Amino acid sequence: MRYYQYDKYPIEFVVSENIDKRFASHNHVGHYIISVVMQGAVVVYLESKKVTCHKGDIFVIPPYAVHSVCQERDARLLSMCIGTAFIEENDIETAEGIFRQLLKDAVEEGIFGKERKEDLLASVGMVYRLQNNGRKEMDAGIKSLADKITSQPELELSVDTLAADIFVSKYYFIRKFKSSIGMTPHQFCIQNRIRKSQRMLNKEKTVGGIASEMGFYDQSHFDKAFQRIVGISPSEYVRSKKRIEQGT
């Protein structure tokens, strides 16, 4: 897997190749994901629906949508991750202008070809339609707690404490949280610890230090969780990242 990131915008490209893996069910709280199959076939499980995507097929994953991806070694998948803040702060005309330049930069760096550039650019409109019409409705109390976990996943927040925050029993809270978010509070917390860890690795902190700071028992525990969610180890992730030089 290879990661390409911009400094100015919350936008990242991920090229998944040479892996034989089914990623566990998860969601992306702060991103829209546009993915295009560049080679082979990829099986996508989205909100309990199974879809097999072949070369040239595109799928879009909105925030909080629970999904998993099964990819065999001969498949290649290109994903563009777009921060929700970017979509909220820019109208579609502005966004398309920015993406046109960013995608041009990516093609010039050899990350993907012009055909994939046009696929991704044409899909930006799909993201805006999802933002306006496909927003996942969520109980306000559950959304508040999900935001709390997302912002500070390293905190040890017990189910009893979280349930008390919205004045419900812990058993009702667990059921309600899973039906709204698609995973248990514990699973959601671990997922977001790993997501925050990825950002911290971007700042060149040590793996052991991040594991401790994020509340894992030890580095081995952290490594296993990272591998399960991201698909590669923390050290492989650090080596796979690259900054994209932005044009003017």
Question: What's the N-to-C CA distance of the chain in angstroms?
Answer: 28
Rounded (5°) CA angle 20-22-24: 150
Confidence at residue 8, expressed as pLDDT on a 0 to 100 scale: 87
Q: What is the pLDDT of residues 174-183, one digit of tens each?
A: 999 998 898 9
Confidence at residue 136, expressed as pLDDT on a 0 to 100 scale: 60
Give residues with Cβ within 8 angstroms of 177, minimum separation 6. 142, 145, 146, 184, 185, 188
Which regions in the chain score pLDDT beneath 50? 248
Contact 71, 77 (CB under 8 A): yes
Confidence at residue 37, expressed as pLDDT on a 0 to 100 scale: 95
What tokens does 118 get?
């046009």
At residue 203, the 3 state secondary structure works out as: coil
DSSP for 1-22, written as a single string: -EEEE-SSSSEEEEEEES--EE
Q: What is the pLDDT of residues 116-171, one digit of tens each?
A: 999 999 999 999 988 766 556 678 889 899 999 999 999 988 999 999 999 999 99
